Amino acid sequence: MTTVDTQLFQTETEDLISGSEAIAIACALADVDVITAYPIRPYDTVMQYVSKLKADGVFDCDFIVAESEHSQFEIVKHASAVGARTFCGSSGVGWFYAFEAITVTAGLRMPVVAMVGNRALDDPGAFGTEHNDALAVRDLGWMLRWVDTAEEAMDAAFMAWRVAEDPRIYLPCAISTDGAFLTHSQQIVQMPSQAQVDEFLPPYDRGDFVLHPDNPITIAPQVNEDWLIEIRRQTDAAMRRARDVIIEAQDDMNRIFNREEEDPFIEEYMTEDADVVLVGMGTLSLPLKVTVRRLREQGKKVGFVRVKWFRPFPAPELQVALSKFKAIGIIDRDYSLGAPQNGGVLYTEIRSALYDVTPRPPMIGFICGLGGREVTVDSSTEMFDKTFEVAETGHAEEPLLWIGVRS
């Protein structure tokens, strides 16, 4: 079908748009076939933009408003099986309501691309940002990408379809966008042209694995103990291969879109001569970078490292990047109650990744910004001060601190 209005997106453009609008425009440029929606804040803003683009004739797609989040994900799973490029999403407990469908999407190796508008889990109710919703699928075979700007959200969407639909991979991918801080906030975005997107993103082709009357295959058979472990091992192999495919795709994106992403997995900010660094994901980067600049004006050698891909986890990159510092502070906008050291998810993953590193710098974990509470320059400075204390003593007396909590 003819999907994109030929008069639009003919040249690279610059515009002031939100993270949600950036991903909606990416859907149009990527010629997505099937998009499903069900309202829940803050993710649903992307579907409002998609529906407006469709209503305005910018592009055509099968836009289906489902009766629940579960149905929403079931529809795109089956659409992907018959060869349709798909997009959907949710937030918070809506993501959890779809969990059965989300789980089997990875198990069936369907390259569905979803946006998670990161939101706190009920109860008690809160619409603000937390990362526990998206992190819940970290062990199931979903690739996970955290973004911190609207432009990066757009690029991540193109990257998600490119990597997920690669025949070497065939895994779903979730783009995590911090609720309100990114879904609703506007930024200047350099948008690629339709020709650039077409060069970067090939058509989705399932080949012999497409579900079609002319290709009678079985999807989702009951295999029990006879084959299940072999199938899990194949999914594991695909996740391992994803690293090389991401690197390959990032090189192409840099060349075609005129981007300058040196490392697709992590971002280092003013770390060259840093004594201590903080590590985090998502829009935490914005107040952290301001804090880094202010503390450096005071003569303190600090830096920031942002994790972009959480699955596959960038252990090799973090081992190289973090081993040179005197101490590391790891910020979680999530919680993992009862975890080792009582730390958050990112803290636990990084401790594991650095276990065999020599020298291994001392670490301290922080949990902050839950429920969308703002991470300020003052709270960021407090975390840097605590990390400097760890650098001086060589260990953390308390391995995990909650920051910004009222007494």
Domain ranges, ordered by start, for the chain? 13-257, 266-402
Under the banding of pLDDT at 50, 70 and 90, the label for residue 6 is very low
Q: Do domains 13-257 and 266-402 have the same CATH topology?
A: yes
Mean pLDDT value of segment 118-138: 95
State residue 9's pLDDT score: 84
- 80 and 111 in contact (C-beta within 8 Å)? yes
CA 205 to CA 273: how far, in whole Å?
A: 47
Compute the distance between CA of residue 42 and CA of residue 18 in angstroms, rounded to an integer: 12
What is the reported pLDDT for 1? Answer: 33
Task: Please give the backbone phi and psi of residue 14, each rounded to the nearest 5 degrees, phi first.
Answer: -120, 130
Q: What is the edge-to-edge ordering of all strands in the sheet holding 363-367? A: 266-269, 302-307, 276-280, 327-332, 363-367, 400-402
Average pLDDT over every residue of 52-78: 96
Q: Sort 365 into a burial class: Cβ within 10 Å, 0-12 / 13-18 / 19+.
A: buried
Quick one: how far is CA 195 from the chain centroid?
Answer: 26
Q: Which fold would CATH assign to domain 266-402?
A: Rossmann fold (3.40.50)
pLDDT at position 7 is: 61
Q: How many angstroms from the chain centroid is the CA of residue 99?
A: 17
- Do 277 and 306 touch, CB atoms closer than 8 A? no
Q: What phi, psi does 299 have (nearest 5°)?
A: 90, 10
15 upstream amide cis, omega within 30 of 0: no
Mean pLDDT across the chain, nearest whole number?
A: 95
pLDDT in tens, 167-200: 999 999 999 999 999 999 999 999 999 999 999 9
Structure tokens at 101: 């469908």
- DSSP bridge partners of 279: 305, 330
Please name which of 58, 52, 27 lies closest in space to residue 156, comparing C-alpha atoms.
27
pLDDT score of 2: 34
Q: What is the pLDDT of residues 101-111, one digit of tens each?
A: 999 999 999 99
DSSP single-letter state for residue 4: B
Max Cα–Cα distance, the chain, nearest Å: 69
Domain 13-257 class, CATH top level: alpha beta
Cβ-proximal residues to 281 (8 Å cutoff; 6+ apart), any chain:
131, 146, 176, 306, 307, 308, 310, 333, 346
* pTM summary value: 0.96
3-class state of residue 296 by DSSP: helix
pLDDT at 3: 43
Beta strands in 237-317 (DSSP E): 266-269, 276-280, 302-307, 309-311
pLDDT per residue as tens digits for the range 266-305: 999 999 999 999 999 999 999 999 999 999 999 999 999 9
| Spatial strand order in the sheet of 309-311 | 62-65, 34-37, 86-90, 113-118, 173-178, 143-146, 309-311
